[in-house]
Amino acid sequence: MSTRIVVVGGGTAGARLAQRLPVTLLGEEPHVPYNRVLLADVLAGRYAPEVIALPETREPVRLGVRAVRIDRAARTVECADGSLVGYDRLVLATGSNPVLPPLRGLRGAELPEGVHAFRTLDDCLVLRDRVRPGVRAVVIGGGLLGVSAARALAALGAEVVLTQQGERLMERQLDTYASALLREHMEALGVEVHTECRVSGLRQRDGEVTAVELADGFVLDAQVVVLACGVRPRVALAREAGLDVGTGIVVDDELRTSDPYIHALGDCAEHRGRVYGLAGPALEQADVLAEVLVRDVPAAESSRYSGTRALTRLTLGGAQPLDLASFGEATPQPGDDVVQLTDATRSAYRKVVVRGDRLVGGVLLGDLAAVGTLARAWEGDEALPEAPLLHLLTHDGGS
């Protein structure tokens, strides 16, 4: 009898596994699996929703089905519609939930009309319906998600204010100079950027948002508010089943949880103390797990997951596209070598940080011609060649 593999979550990781193996895939969302990374393009109206569908899975996905409980003794998953699904191996690919900030006027998970997270295709479709030229929109959070959302809303003609609590945009990925270039780029698109700006509350009338209150007493009118304050791994199902959970669901190098019959991967998983929250690692983990599940015997080196050293790449599309890539530590420590090239007229910037004979981080903005060379050096983690370090930034063409 063949092994029954059940996967909970039809996002990036779950769908990739279901392309590799015949599995029962339970997906809470009503849409066929789609590429979440491209949601900003759907919001901006550049792509129709069907364009971002992921390649087909081996078996049809059970859409609109939410798993609500795992019975580890009986090896069954209970779904919200009351059905029970038996498994031999269970895979949790439940992704992340948006973080809802502690704001006055925001109670529980119930959001006032006009206030939206930016996580799902439904979030984008509802937002797109609401945003008309001239609508005042406030985006809370100046990380990757907030920047993408602000650009998309501006492309729809909204008057956008982007509020960032930290000192600069995309602090996790960019250094000070690259953040400043990104800010200029956003402002050129008509987005008003406020840094070191804490939102403290929302005002509403008849259940509909009307304004955003700032901690310094300032009030911004808003008909649309987008919450882009980060994500948190979705671990409730695992926790209630008694699995080990840290920040994410704790897994070993075979993506196995503390129950040998249950695996976890993607945004919900914590491997060697790390939760990635990125598409590249989710895909890599799914490929490794497909091998582990096919063999279902103690794995050889080749089908173990040892972590992902992937570059984060982002294209902010539209009339004036801007490419970004970042990896590792973009801010040097004492003793590190730093090489950088700046072309202020073209808003282009390339920088790498080198420690000893290793590349430890870098940022590219506006011009990704060197990205191929850098990705190979970073992902391979090999000693750098003897050539002058500047060559790392000028050896183009391998992207």
Using CB under 6 A, list all residues that contact ligand FAD.
8-14, 26-29, 36-37, 39-40, 66-67, 93-96, 118-119, 145, 148, 234, 237, 266-268, 277-280, 282, 312, 314
CB 351 within 8 A of CB 175: yes
* 11 vs 114, beta carbon nearer ligand FAD: 11
d(C-alpha 331, C-alpha 376), whole Å = 20
The least distance separating ligand FAD from the CB of residue 218, rounded to whole angstroms, comes to 28
* 151 vs 350, beta carbon nearer ligand FAD: 151
Residue type, 80: A
* 276 vs 349, beta carbon nearer ligand FAD: 276
The least distance separating ligand FAD from the CB of residue 316, rounded to whole angstroms, comes to 10
* 100 vs 214, beta carbon nearer ligand FAD: 100
C-beta pairs of 278-282 under 8 Å, 24+ apart in sequence: 278/308, 278/310, 278/312, 279/12, 279/36, 279/37, 280/308, 280/310, 280/311, 280/312, 281/308, 281/310, 282/11, 282/12, 282/13, 282/16
* Closest-CA residue to 224 (of 122, 375, 115): 115
Helix, strand, coil proportions of the chain in percent (round to 5)?
Answer: 25, 30, 45
The least distance separating ligand FAD from the CB of residue 79, rounded to whole angstroms, comes to 8
* 324 vs 392, beta carbon nearer ligand FAD: 324
CA distances from 36 to 33, 53, 372 (A): 9, 9, 24
CB atoms under 10 Å from CB of 385, counted, come to: 11
Q: What is the 3-state secondary structure (H, E, C) of 345-369?
A: HHCEEEEEEEECCEEEEEEEECCCC
The least distance separating ligand FAD from the CB of residue 231, rounded to whole angstroms, comes to 8
* 118 vs 349, beta carbon nearer ligand FAD: 118
3-state SS class at 206: coil
d(C-alpha 104, C-alpha 102), whole Å = 7
The least distance separating ligand FAD from the CB of residue 241, rounded to whole angstroms, comes to 11
CB 35 within 8 A of CB 16: no
* 19 vs 312, beta carbon nearer ligand FAD: 312
> Which residue lies nearest ligand FAD, judged by its C-beta?
11
The least distance separating ligand FAD from the CB of residue 150, rounded to whole angstroms, comes to 12
* 94 vs 257, beta carbon nearer ligand FAD: 94
The least distance separating ligand FAD from the CB of residue 34, rounded to whole angstroms, comes to 9
The least distance separating ligand FAD from the CB of residue 228, rounded to whole angstroms, comes to 8
245 pairs with which residues across the strands? 249
